[in-house]
Amino acid sequence: MSPRVSKEHLKQRRADIMKAATQVFIEQGYEHTTMKHVMEAANVSRGGLYQYFSNKEDLFEAILEEGLSEEAEDTGFSLEEAASPQWTLLMKLMFGEDGRPDTNMDPLAPSKLEFFITGRHDERRRTYGEKRYEMGVNIYDEVIKAGQETGEFSDRYDSGLLARSIITFVDGLALDHAIQPEEKVRLKEQSELFVEYLKMALDVSSSS
């Protein structure tokens, strides 16, 4: 009656496939990745792969969701550090735990962009993309709003709009970096510049 292979094992297998697939997506991009690539990278048979994911889209979305929940964990953590100023929070949100602009980018980002951009005419994908966009906006919006309420930030600009501009910046950077080599885009410097933009818009003192 009990399953031959433990639930753990199943989860593990699934996770393994996703891990291998992630690598493939990073290397080949979303469109150019075929299920065969994944099969080979994950060392699964065709049928085996389809047992876990019913198609490429499904597989990719699973990877996206995973990324999301990981982020959420990280973020959740951050938000608990209650006392810290909203500005610190904002920086952590944008640049990860150390809150400093750096040279790292999510290596899957280009494929994500691909996924959403090539699927922009697909109802399902579009909706999904919008949901994600909204979530992204909301996270930043809340932090900014909080800062504006406590007076830490100027409320000269609408928090939602500022939040959107952050997303725009992040997406634009991901896009450019997907195509240009790092040194052309100047990832870190641009990030620093954008932080300056934000400081000015929020009246955050430079010393922060």
Partner DNA sequence: CATGAATGAGAATTCATTCAT
Partner DNA sequence: CATGAATGAATTCTCATTCAT
Residue 133 makes contact with its own copies by CB under 8 A: yes
Nearest to 191 by CA among 95, 49, 113: 95
DSSP states of 62-85 as a string? HHHHHHHHHHHHHHHHHHH-TTS-
132 lies in the site for DNA, by CB under 7 A: no
Binding flag, residue 184, its own copies (CB under 8 A): yes
Q: Is 199 exposed, middle or buried, given 0-12, 13-18 or 19+ CB atoms closer than 10 A?
A: middle
Find the part of the chain contacting its own copies (CB under 8 A) among 59-67, 83-91, 140-148, 175-183.
175-183
Question: Is the Cβ–Cβ distance between 175 and 113 less than 8 Å?
Answer: yes
Q: Which of 35, 62, 167, 174 binds DNA (CB under 7 A)?
A: 35
> If binding is defined by CB under 8 A, does position 66 make contact with its own copies?
no
- Say if CB 140 and CB 71 are below 8 A apart: no
Among 24, 44, 89, 94, binds DNA (CB under 7 A): 44
Size of the site for DNA (CB under 7 A): 21
Q: Does 5 bind DNA (CB under 7 A)?
A: yes
Nearer to DNA among residue 45 and residue 104 (C-beta): 45
Rg from Cα positions in the chain? 20
Give whichever of 39 and 162 is closer to its own copies, judged by the CB atom: 162
For the chain, where are the alpha helices, taking DSSP H only? 7-28, 35-42, 46-52, 56-80, 86-95, 109-118, 123-149, 159-179, 182-185, 187-202
Identity of the residue, 5 or 84, whose beta carbon is nearer to its own copies in the bound complex: 5
Which residues in the 24-63 window bind its own copies by CB under 8 A?
A: 27-32
Nearer to DNA, 23 or 78 (CB): 23
Separation CA 57–CA 115 (nearest Å):
9
For DNA, the binding residues (CB under 7 A) are 1, 3-5, 10, 13, 33-36, 44-48, 50-52, 54-56
